[in-house]
Amino acid sequence: MDKFKCLIRGAYGASNFGDDALLDVIYTKLLSKYSEQEIAIWGSNNAYISERYPNSKAIVKKDLYKTKCKNLIYGGGTQFYDFGKARNSKQLWDLLLNPSYTLNKLKNKLFNKGINPIEYDKEFYLAVGLGPFLPDSKVKENVLKRMKISNFVSLRDNKSMDFAEKGDVQAIKTVDICLSKTIAEGKKDNGRIAVVLRDWEHTHSEYTVEYLFEQVKGLELSKVDFITFGPDIKLKEFIKENNLSSFEWDPYSMTINEFLDTFGNYKMVFSSRYHGVIYSVLLGIPVIALPIEPKLIQASIELNGVILYKPQMGFKHYKNQIENNYDKISADLLETKRLKFIESNKTIDTLLASL
């Protein structure tokens, strides 16, 4: 059975920029404590994780119930939520393709064997987000039980802290760990507007491209680029069908920093992606958060300078607001960046000291 000093858990390797950016940050921080060979990464099955981190083991389904680690770290992101959706066909097919994993999972469920997919000595939660959850959610109940007996819990926003408090979990309030990243202010010199949208199947939402397109057209489409942070099949089809200008995160052809070099050239951003907001703050780009889910509202509350979108105002209103106050908004964001950099690194240092 393989054993590692540290195993990082997250939704890494699923072609989602935000999750890949989280891994980039936490992996780099952990190298101050461990060698690459002592670290394992438990994300999705995509090959580019192994290519990007060739000296660390990428844990996939076939490795579960066969791997141990000293420290299991849930490394950022919204890893615990419950929209009440049943398994989709892809997930069911994945279970069929991994019979050993499926058998162990079934035995655990039927016979209450208490064997974990990864055996660990200590468990840590670093700047994770909680929710949303259905009422009386078993997912929420189980994660709060685990957090109560874990070695370290830090949560990324006030809403997550509310869940922890109600579950009697002792937690540190912090910020998204990407805010610990050292990154230069963006050039913001291409004169264009980035619109970062996403597919959304969890709840009804007026923040998908189909609902927002008329608003976006008011910005003058020749000066707008649609930026995709993830697979977003429906969004990409819409972009193609309407012959719209776009730029996408492609982990097979670019690094995190190469993507950010381009993203940092935009003069303003409208984003329903949480990390579209976070990296706009890091780059000092005025950003409007489109609240497709609660964490976008939390970002606007907790990160000074981030503007929360209200549908009755419209895109053009916010474009004018930013253009009329550009230097002030950008300065506020860079001050937020400075303060949150300190806060985030303090949390990470506390974690590292406890490993």
Report pLDDT digits (tens) over 264-285. Answer: 999 999 999 999 999 999 999 9
Per-residue pLDDT, averaged over 338-347, amounts to 98
Q: What was the pLDDT predicted at 166?
A: 96
Taking phi first (over 0 means left), then psi (-120 to 50 degrees means alpha), and beta for anything else, what does residue 76 get? left
pLDDT at 46: 75
For the cut 80, the answer to whether the pLDDT of residue 342 exceeds it is yes
d(CA 334, CA 320): 21
Is 77:175 a contact under the CB 8 Å cutoff?
A: no
What domains are defined for the chain? Answer: 2-174 (3.40.50), 193-339 (3.40.50.2000)
* 205-242: pLDDT as tens digits: 999 999 999 999 999 999 999 999 999 999 999 999 99
H/E element, 143: helix 138-148
Which of 45-49, 102-106, 194-198, 282-286 has the weakest average pLDDT? 102-106
Taking a C-beta distance cutoff of 8 angstroms, is the pair 234, 226 a contact? Answer: no
Whether the per-residue pLDDT at 162 is higher than 90: the answer is: yes
Give residue 113's pLDDT band: very low, low, confident or very high (50, 70, 90).
Answer: low
For the segment 129-160, what is each residue's pLDDT rounded down to a tens digit?
999 999 999 999 999 999 999 999 999 999 99
At 301-329, the pLDDT tens digits run 999 999 999 999 999 999 999 999 999 99
Give yes or no for residue 110 having a pLDDT over 50.
no
3-state helix, strand, coil in the chain (%, to 5): 45, 20, 35
In this prediction, residue 250 carries a pLDDT of: 98
Quickly list DSSP for 211-267: HHHHHHHTT-GGGEEEEE-S--HHHHHHHHHTT--EEE--TTT--HHHHHHHHTT-S
Residue 232, both tokens: 């977003």
- Write the DSSP assignment of 202-214 as a string of letters: SS--S-SHHHHHH
Instruction: Single out the residue of 23, 46, 16 nearest to residue 126, CA to CA.
Output: 23
pTM: 0.93
Q: What is the mean pLDDT of residues 79-100?
A: 64
- Mean pLDDT, the chain, rounded, equals 93
Q: Is 50 helix (H, G, I), strand (E, B) or coil?
A: helix
Q: Which amino acid is at 258?
A: E
